[in-house]
């Protein structure tokens, strides 16, 4: 039995040595399994690649894949899935916020119980700015209302999956990837392990508020068509309102004659309608731009350096 651990790294030179130490420890606990560590260097601008080269030279379990530029964590995970050989595959952050110490328990659950994957969720968001937690919570509420797939609040990307599930995830080749949705979409029986949030061991978070916001929007557009429906409902509603307004104006004209007044209210109505129209076109634009990117069928990632000979370098 082989376990593959995928570790996306973007500027993690400070964290990787700590992580490696921990990984070494748990792999001793899991000594009856063969292990491989797949480090994906996602266009780091610091010394991450040198550290990976060094580690790979002294430990044969380490494979590293270095992207030609920053493609994002989703692409890094995908590259990992495409190149992982294990019967069990896990994704883990480089900063020890996904505690490797949970691994033995995760492996035990897959072995002994009837599950295809073990996922983790944070039960607390301690150590995170409150405003970020607030928006995150609202996002999960919203997306679960308007999307068919279940997306669990506090779910991490940290999960251990059986081969069958990994193959399914690799089969979903969309360019705009949102893993939290993809894991839910493919189905399979998932066991949820709750744990307390921990601070990152070293280095800094790669996610600004703006980046997270865009990621959340991507999640919504990728896994829900509800915004499009909202746009058409807006249209239906406004047509109805204007119909009533026309009736009102005509009847008033017939009964009371023709008082010329009300340009101010007209301007208000025109700007309001202009706004609603632009909003709806904007929503459609979001979906069209996604479709545009999908139809180009560009690769998710390009690997420029690796110590693995049979690497899938572009996919
Ligand atoms: N990451 C990546 N590419 C990026 C951004 C992040 O591979 O463009 C990796 C990063 O190195 C880390 C993981 O994704 O291993 C999670 O990132 P981070 O810890 O910055 O996110 P947070 O835990 O703050 O949400
Ligand atoms: Mg982190």
Helices within 157-262 (DSSP H only): 163-171, 179-185, 209-223, 226-256
Residue 183's Cβ-count burial label (10 Å; 0-12, 13-18, 19+) is buried
Identify whether the C-beta of residue 217 lies closer than 8 Å to the C-beta of residue 145: no
Strands 155-162 and 88-91, by their bridges, are antiparallel
Identify whether the C-beta of residue 102 lies closer than 8 Å to the C-beta of residue 28: no
pLDDT tens by residue, 188-238? 989 888 887 777 777 777 778 888 888 888 888 888 888 888 888 888 888
Cα–Cα dist 90/33, whole Å: 14
Ligand 1 pocket: which of 64, 95, 98 to mutate (most atoms <8 Å of CB)? 95
pLDDT tens by residue, 96-146? 888 888 899 899 998 898 899 999 888 777 767 888 888 888 888 888 888
Residue 291 alpha carbon to ligand 1 centre in Å: 26
Mean pLDDT of 228-249: 83
Cα–Cα dist 60/83, whole Å: 16
Mean pLDDT of 240-252: 83
Strands 62-67 and 303-306, by their bridges, are antiparallel
Residue 202 alpha carbon to ligand 2 centre in Å: 9
Residue 94 alpha carbon to ligand 1 centre in Å: 8
Which residue CA neighbors atom 22 of ligand 1 most closely?
Answer: 205
Supply the pLDDT for residue 259.
Answer: 66
Residue 3 alpha carbon to ligand 2 centre in Å: 22
Mean pLDDT of 266-286: 83
pLDDT at 167 over 90: yes
Identify whether the C-beta of residue 24 lies closer than 8 Å to the C-beta of residue 50: no
Proximal ligand: closest to the CA of 8: 1
Cα–Cα dist 20/9, whole Å: 13
3-state SS assignment for residue 285: helix
Length of the chain: 315
Q: What is the DSSP track for 95-134?
A: TSSS-GGGHHHHHHHHHHSS-SEEEEEES--TTS-HHHHH
Name which of 36-45, 102-111, 121-130, 150-159 the model is least confident about.
Answer: 121-130
Which residue CA neighbors atom 17 of ligand 1 most closely?
Answer: 206
HSE-up (13 A, CA, CB side) for residue 313: 9
Which residue CA neighbors atom 12 of ligand 1 most closely?
Answer: 93
Which residue CA neighbors atom 24 of ligand 1 most closely?
Answer: 205
Ligand 1 pocket: which of 8, 133, 208 to mutate (most atoms <8 Å of CB)? 8
In the sheet that holds 88-91, the strands lie side by side as 190-195, 117-122, 155-162, 88-91, 2-9, 34-41, 62-67, 303-306
Ligand 1 pocket: which of 7, 93, 210, 214 to mutate (most atoms <8 Å of CB)? 93
Task: Determine if ligand 1 sits within 6 Å of the CB of residue 93.
Answer: yes
- Nearest atom (ligand 1) to Cα of 205: 20
For CA atoms 284, 285, 290, 296, give the dihedral sign: positive
Record the tokens describing residue 150, joined without a space.
Answer: 């279940």
For residue 170, what are the CA distances in angstroms to 67, 137, 177?
18, 29, 11
Task: Determine if ligand 1 sits within 6 Å of the CB of residue 98.
Answer: no
Task: Determine if ligand 1 sits within 6 Å of the CB of residue 70.
Answer: yes
């Amino acid at each position: 039995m082989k376990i593959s651990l995928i570790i996306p790294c973007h500027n993690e030179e400070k964290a990787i040595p700590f992580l490696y130490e921990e990984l070494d420890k748990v792999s001793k606990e899991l000594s009856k399994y063969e292990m491989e560590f797949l480090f994906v260097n996602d266009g780091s601008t610091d010394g991450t690649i040198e550290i990976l080269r060094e580690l790979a030279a002294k430990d044969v379990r380490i494979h590293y894949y270095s992207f030609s530029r920053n493609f994002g964590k989703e692409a890094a995970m995908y590259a990992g899935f495409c190149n992982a050989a294990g019967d069990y595959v896990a994704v883990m952050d480089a900063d020890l916020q996904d505690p490797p110490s949970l691994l033995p328990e995760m492996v035990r659950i897959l072995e002994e119980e009837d599950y295809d994957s073990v996922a983790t969720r944070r039960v607390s968001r301690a150590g995170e700015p409150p405003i970020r937690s607030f928006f995150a919570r609202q996002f999960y509420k919203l997306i679960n209302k308007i999307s068919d797939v279940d997306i669990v609040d506090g779910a991490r990307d940290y999960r251990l999956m059986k081969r069958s599930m990994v193959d399914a995830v690799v089969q979903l080749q969309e360019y705009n990837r949102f893993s939290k949705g993809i894991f839910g979409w493919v189905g399979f029986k998932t066991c949820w392990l709750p744990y307390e949030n921990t601070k990152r061991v070293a280095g800094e978070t790669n996610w600004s508020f703006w980046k997270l916001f865009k990621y959340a929007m991507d999640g919504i557009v990728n896994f829900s068509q509800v915004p499009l429906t909202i746009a058409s409902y807006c249209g239906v509603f406004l047509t109805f309102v204007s119909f009533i307004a026309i009736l009102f104006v005509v009847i008033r004209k017939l009964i009371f004659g023709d008082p010329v007044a009300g340009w101010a209210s007209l301007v208000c109505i025109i700007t309001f309608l202009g706004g609603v129209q632009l909003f709806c076109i904007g929503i459609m634009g979001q979906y069209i731009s996604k479709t545009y990117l999908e139809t180009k069928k560009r690769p998710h990632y390009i690997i420029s350096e690796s110590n693995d000979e049979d690497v899938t370098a572009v996919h």
